[in-house]
Amino acid sequence: MESATSTKRTSLMIGSVWLVLTLVVLTIGFRQALFLSPTDAEQGDVGRIFYWHVPSAMLGLVFPYINFVASLAFLYLRRRNPLAALTADAWAVAAAEVSVVFASICLVTGMLWGRAVWGIWWTWDWRLTSELLLWLLYVAYLMTRRMSTDGQTSTLGAIISVFAALDVPLVYFSIRWFRTQHPSPVFGGGADSGLDPSMYPAFLWNVLAWLMWGGFILAFRVAVERRRQRLDQLEGLRMLESDIDNFKLGGEPERGNAF
Amino acid sequence: MQTTEQASPVATTTPAAVLAGVSKLFGTFAAIRNLSLTIKAGTITVLLGQNGAGKSTLLRLLAGLTAPTRGSVTVLGDAPERRRGRIAYMSHAPMLYDELSAMENLQYFATLNAVGGGCDCVGSPEMALRAVGLDPHLAKPVGQYSQGMRQRTSLARVLQSDPEVLLLDEPFSNLDVGSAQHIVELLADFKTWPIHGGASGRTIVLTTHQAHLAESIADLTLTMDRGAISR
Amino acid sequence: MNFYRHVMAHLRKDLRLEWRSRDSMTGMLFFSLLVVVVFAMAFDPTAAVSRQISGGILWMTLLFASTMALNQAWTREQRNSVLDAQRMAPASAAALFFGKALANMIFVTGVEAVLAPLFTVFYNLHALGQGWLLLIVMPLGTWALVANGTFFAALGLRTRNRELMLPLVLFPISIPALLAMIQATTGILTGEIEPDLWIRLLVVYDVVFTTACLLLFDTLLNAE
Amino acid sequence: MHFEGMSAMDARHLVLAYASVALFQGGYFAWVVRNWLRLKDDEKKAAKPVE
């Protein structure tokens, strides 16, 4: 018990320090992006959206991989080592949620930028479309978890995750072919092709900041999920130990038959 | 039937089933609580108890249809999922297609049970149906059968797979006294069927409310209460 | 060999069940007919326009019709807990999946066979590209829908809201296949796009996802 | 940067973009924190002996 509380305290401390550092870097990134980086000649100030949009897009592609690897680990460990499998599941669900958050930001900032620069909110360009589908796939993953019956959530989630991971590259390439055959007029100019060296500091600070933030929120979410799992187990144990008071007479006779 | 006679089963062989500290939770409902039990091969175990006492869940655990929340279940020396085909399970539900006739249902499951060059002579659908007292040539779909007939078809389904471990959930529930008595005799007879492959005897675990019916054949009678064995 | 025998047993059984009730076939057929008529009234298609849109309408019709039918694909197994008996049998779960998927494939193909002449009549169709390629595109596209659909319908059994679950998961996952089949069909009808790239994508999609379904079906069936 | 007034679309959209980032990340963070605190309460309750 002594060591358990001390490790808890250590991880809490590491977490807080990490959070403070992240906030500092986020502030630097914010200042760089808004005040120090030069205004884009073509796009004006709205071009600064780039510093949030692109890091979010990049991270939105990283977290699905974590989800996929964790899901595979879960499927492998499910019968062999149920406790380790639970940890893998915590990582999977956290990574999926964080993916959806970053993909949502990517979509919304992208739309705001598009309206100001292209004059339209949305175009079915391959990049936008694939990002939207990525978002849809991981929302479907989270919905499946929500709707699944007790005790099967993790397995069903892991299965959907494998399908989603197989789907993403196919979506990416197919939509790219599709939209290459009908080039969208808005993407003729190549407004963001190449990165001016003057933009580097702001861009890199923001990538670092959001990477740190992403790592923090992922680890935090995993910790919460682990805690929830432990509480669940504790509750189960209590149910087993408490004898009569929790027992509903004649309760759930059909349970055994539920498929 | 196989003609090679087996020597009388040796008492000190692997048990048919071992449950070690098994608990099963459905959400916050504890269906089985920390249950440990060894079922000897070649015996008939009768489980008694009220609705919700955990009898059905225990059978489903033994069948490998559901995994224990804690503890381990071993049937015929391995996890029940790896002993498919050697365990048969009959539940409250008939586990048959309503639209097919008894014969069609049984033939379908016979194909599924045949793996490799399995001996087709044992457990042919026709013999199984005759054994439970049904006409194999009845063309009516199972959905139009009476409760009792469906129950007997369901029993034929499990018997034809020639299982070493037979799990029966309320096998007498919808039967009149005569046919229930007939089934009891059939089960007693089933226990003596020879097995190819050197196993040490057929094992039956059944749950029932009608204790008086099963008493005559039971080697062991257990009463379950709130997910544990009380007697 | 065992696998083949078991698949055939499942398939035979499913065909027999469908023959006795004809539920999903009649349902799908009438639904598709309704969609075709409603779309035709909404767009009042001329020959040139209908070539552009009918590929999309055809596949959307089939997608919705087959989703409707696939939602019911496992109800018979669920009703009397037949699925438990199938899980207990030593036959592989993949065979169960494959047999059911083949049966659904046959049903949807039957619907297509009736739908194709209707489409030609109502939309004044006449392929400008190589019409025979449709004979490749249709089965490939149908299999893409049916294989995933059968799998996710079984997944839906393990959730609280089966009817809602299937489209929720099936549609996003099928997007590349849908895109490929619609593009290939439109390409063939209009003669403007070369369909072979899309056909190749469909083949890749079918192979990848059929493999995934076969490998994961056992896990799905024994998720409990 | 120089705000030439909020009426210009690019300035407005830049602010909106920043607000949406803060909303999504902050909202998710708040949600996780809320779950964390709630679990903490539950844990305390669970630690108490059964009455």
Q: What is the pLDDT of residues C82-112, one digit of tens each?
A: 999 999 988 889 999 999 999 999 999 999 9
The amino acid at A12? L
* Residues of C in Cβ contact (< 8 Å) with A144: 155, 159, 165, 168-169
- How confident is the model over A202-225, as a mean pLDDT? 90
Instruction: Look at residues B135, B150, B39 and name the one whose alpha carbon lies nearest to residue B91.
Output: B150
Kindly state whether residue A250 falls inside one of the protein's structural domains: no
Q: Which chain A residue lies closest to B92 (C-alpha atoms)?
A: A257
Question: Is B191 within 8 Å of chain A by CB?
Answer: no
Instruction: Look at residues C188, C96, C95 and name the one whose alpha carbon lies nearest to residue C140.
Output: C188
- The answer, yes or no, to whether residue C73 has pLDDT greater than 80, is yes
Instruction: Look at residues C101, C85, C94 and name the one whose alpha carbon lies nearest to residue C6.
Output: C94
| Chain A residues 105-124 with a CB less than 8 Å from chain B | none
For residue A36, give every residue at least 6 positions away whose Cβ sits within 8 Å of its Cβ, in sequence order, or none: A201, A202
Task: Look at residue A41 in the predicted model and tell me its pLDDT.
Answer: 64
Q: Do A251 and B56 touch (CB under 8 A)?
A: no
Q: Do A109 and D36 touch (CB under 8 A)?
A: no
What whole-number distance in Å separates Cα of residue A108 and Cα of residue A127? 14
C-alpha distance from residue B91 to each of A257, B206, C83 (Å): 8, 10, 12
What whole-number distance in Å separates Cα of residue A88 and Cα of residue A79? 13
* Residues of B in Cβ contact (< 8 Å) with C22: none
| Chain C residues 134-173 with a CB less than 8 Å from chain B | none
Instruction: State chain B's mean pLDDT as an integer.
Output: 83
**ipTM of this predicted complex?**
0.85
Shortest Cα distance from C56 to chain A (angstroms)? Answer: 14
Count the Cβ atoms, other than its own, within 10 Å of residue B7.
7
What whole-number distance in Å separates Cα of residue B93 and Cα of residue C81? 6
The amino acid at A123? T
Task: Look at residue A185 in the predicted model and tell me its pLDDT.
Answer: 43
Please give the interface size between A and C, counted as residue pairs whose CB atoms are below 8 Å apart. 87
- Residue C44: Cβ-neighbour burial (10 angstroms; 0-12, 13-18, 19+): exposed
Report helix, strand or coil for C152.
helix
Torsion over CA: C182, C188, C191, C195 (sign):
positive
- The answer, yes or no, to whether residue A243 has pLDDT greater than 70, is no
C-alpha distance from residue B171 to each of B104, B179, B182, C96, C129 (Å): 22, 11, 12, 28, 65
Task: Look at residue A253 in the predicted model and tell me its pLDDT.
Answer: 40
Count the Cβ atoms, other than its own, within 10 Å of residue C49.
13
What whole-number distance in Å separates Cα of residue C121 and Cα of residue C29? 16
Count the Cβ atoms, other than its own, within 10 Å of residue C117.
9
Partner residue facing C208 (CB), from A137, A159, A166: A166
Report helix, strand or coil for B208.
coil
Kindly state whether residue A194 falls inside one of the protein's structural domains: no
Kindly state whether residue A155 falls inside one of the protein's structural domains: yes
Show the CA angle centred on residue A236, arms to residues A232 and A240, nearest 5°: 170
Shortest Cα distance from A149 to chain B (angstroms)? Answer: 10
Partner residue facing C90 (CB), from B84, B97, B108: B84
- On whether the CB atoms of residues A112 and A49 are closer than 8 A, the answer is yes
Helix, strand, coil fractions of chain B, as percent rounded to 5: 30, 25, 45
Q: How confident is the model at residue A176 (pLDDT cuts 50, 70, 90)?
A: confident
Question: Is D25 within 8 Å of chain A by CB?
Answer: yes
Instruction: Look at residues C83, B61, C217, C161 and name the one whose alpha carbon lies nearest to residue A156.
Output: C217
Task: Look at residue A186 in the predicted model and tell me its pLDDT.
Answer: 42
Show the CA angle centred on residue B150, arms to residues B67 and B44, nearest 5°: 55
pTM summary value:
0.87
Segments in C72-133 forming alpha helices (H): 75-79, 82-88, 93-122
Strand-strand pairing, B203-207 and B220-225:
unpaired
- How confident is the model over A95-103, as a mean pLDDT? 94
- How confident is the model over A173-182, as a mean pLDDT? 69
Task: Look at residue B197 in the predicted model and tell me its pLDDT.
Answer: 63
Kindly state whether residue A37 falls inside one of the protein's structural domains: yes
Give tens-digit pLDDT for A144-163: 999 888 778 899 999 999 99
Question: Is A38 within 8 Å of chain D by CB?
Answer: no
Count of structural domains within chain A? 1
- On whether the CB atoms of residues B82 and C218 are closer than 8 A, the answer is no
Q: Which chain A residue lies closest to B94 (C-alpha atoms)?
A: A257
Give tens-digit pLDDT for B60-106: 999 999 888 888 999 988 888 888 888 999 988 889 999 899 989 99
Question: Is D18 within 8 Å of chain A by CB?
Answer: yes
- Residue D50: Cβ-neighbour burial (10 angstroms; 0-12, 13-18, 19+): exposed
Q: Do A238 and D17 touch (CB under 8 A)?
A: no
Task: Look at residue D6 in the predicted model and tell me its pLDDT.
Answer: 53
Q: Do A252 and B52 touch (CB under 8 A)?
A: yes
Instruction: State chain C's mean pLDDT as an integer.
Output: 88
Instruction: Look at residues A201, A208, A210, A213 and name the one whose alpha carbon lies nearest to residue A34.
Output: A201
C-alpha distance from residue A54 to each of A31, A256, C14, D11 (Å): 17, 51, 51, 19
Give tens-digit pLDDT for A38-49: 776 666 677 777
Sketch the domain layout of chain C as residue ranges: 2-221
Question: Is A80 within 8 Å of chain B by CB?
Answer: no
Strand-strand pairing, B44-49 and B203-207:
parallel
- On whether the CB atoms of residues B195 and B202 are closer than 8 A, the answer is yes
What whole-number distance in Å separates Cα of residue A87 and Cα of residue A155? 13
Task: Look at residue B15 in the predicted model and tell me its pLDDT.
Answer: 85
For residue A150, give every residue at least 6 positions away whose Cβ sits within 8 Å of its Cβ, in sequence order, or none: B26, B27
Task: Look at residue C63 in the predicted model and tell me its pLDDT.
Answer: 93
Strand-strand pairing, B165-169 and B44-49:
unpaired
Task: Look at residue A194 in the predicted model and tell me its pLDDT.
Answer: 55
User: What DSSP state is assigned to residue A32?
Assistant: I
What whole-number distance in Å separates Cα of residue B213 and Cα of residue C5? 41
Q: How confident is the model at residue A250 (pLDDT cuts 50, 70, 90)?
A: very low
* Residues of A in Cβ contact (< 8 Å) with B225: none
Task: Look at residue A180 in the predicted model and tell me its pLDDT.
Answer: 62
Q: Do B23 and A235 touch (CB under 8 A)?
A: no
- On whether the CB atoms of residues C142 and C112 are closer than 8 A, the answer is yes
Partner residue facing A242 (CB), from D24, D28, D50: D50
- How confident is the model over C24-53, as a mean pLDDT? 82
Q: How is the beta sheet containing B44-49 ordered, strand by strand?
A: B87-90, B165-169, B203-207, B44-49, B220-225, B228-229
- On whether the CB atoms of residues B213 and B207 are closer than 8 A, the answer is no
What whole-number distance in Å separates Cα of residue A228 and Cα of residue A89? 12
Structural domain including A45 reads: 18-183+199-231
What whole-number distance in Å separates Cα of residue B216 and Cα of residue B210? 12
Strand-strand pairing, B17-26 and B29-39:
antiparallel
Q: Do A109 and D10 touch (CB under 8 A)?
A: no
Consecutive H or E run containing B36: strand B29-39
- Considering chain A, what percentage of its residues have pLDDT values greater than 70? 83
Task: Look at residue A51 in the predicted model and tell me its pLDDT.
Answer: 82
Question: Is B27 within 8 Å of chain A by CB?
Answer: yes
Shortest Cα distance from B165 to chain A (angstroms)? Answer: 19
Task: Look at residue B138 in the predicted model and tell me its pLDDT.
Answer: 84
- Considering chain A, what percentage of its residues have pLDDT values greater than 90? 28
- Residue A182: Cβ-neighbour burial (10 angstroms; 0-12, 13-18, 19+): exposed
Instruction: Look at residues C83, C185, C201 and name the one whose alpha carbon lies nearest to residue C138.
Output: C185
What whole-number distance in Å separates Cα of residue B157 and Cα of residue B108? 10
Partner residue facing A52 (CB), from D8, D17, D46: D17
- How confident is the model over C125-142, as a mean pLDDT? 86
Count the Cβ atoms, other than its own, within 10 Å of residue A79.
13
* Residues of C in Cβ contact (< 8 Å) with B155: none
For residue C124, give every residue at least 6 positions away whose Cβ sits within 8 Å of its Cβ, in sequence order, or none: C45, C46, C47, C50
Q: Which option is the CATH number for B17-229: 2.40.160.40, 3.40.190.10, 1.10.3720.10, 3.40.50.300?
A: 3.40.50.300
Is the pair A, B in contact (3+ CB pairs within 8 Å)?
yes
The tokens describing C103, both together, are 């049966």
Low-confidence ranges of chain B (pLDDT < 70): 1-13, 116-123, 196-199
Task: Look at residue C139 in the predicted model and tell me its pLDDT.
Answer: 94
Kindly state whether residue A1 falls inside one of the protein's structural domains: no
- How confident is the model over C60-88, as a mean pLDDT? 90
| Stronger pLDDT, C191 or A141, i.e. the higher one | A141
Instruction: Look at residues B166, B185, B160 and name the one whose alpha carbon lies nearest to residue B175.
Output: B185
Torsion over CA: C14, B92, A242, D41 (sign):
positive
- On whether the CB atoms of residues D32 and A224 are closer than 8 A, the answer is yes
